[in-house]
Amino acid sequence: MENFFVKKVLNNNVLIASGEDRIEVVLIGRGIGFGRQHGDEIVRESVEKLFVLTDRNEQEQYKKLLPNIDDETLKVMIAAVELIRDRVGQRLNEHIHVGLTDHLLFAVNRMIRGIGIRNPFLLETKALYPFEYEVAEAVTKLINQQLTVALPPGEVGFIALHIHSAIANKAVCDLSRYSELMATLIQLIEMQLDVELDKESIDYMRLVRHIRYTIERVVRGEKVDEPEKIASLLKTEYPICYSLSWKLIKVMQQTLKKPVYDAEAVYLTMHLQRIQTKMK
Same domain, 162 and 197: no
Whole-number Å distance between alpha carbons of 207 and 274? 10
Same domain, 162 and 183: no
Same domain, 39 and 63: no
Whole-number Å distance between alpha carbons of 7 and 40? 8
The structural domain count of the chain equals 3
Among 95-109, 200-214, 243-257, which is the least confidently predicted range? 200-214
Same domain, 10 and 27: yes
Q: Per residue in 87-121, pLDDT tens?
A: 999 889 999 999 999 999 988 988 888 877 778 78
Q: What is the CATH number of the domain that holds 34?
A: 2.30.24.10
Q: Which of 195, 175, 208, 219 is nearest to 279 (CA)?
A: 195
Whole-number Å distance between alpha carbons of 53 and 65? 14
Task: Find the domain containing 94 and state its range.
Answer: 57-170
Same domain, 150 and 230: no
Q: Per residue in 1-34, pLDDT tens?
A: 578 899 999 999 999 998 777 788 999 988 888 8
CB 149 within 8 A of CB 112: yes
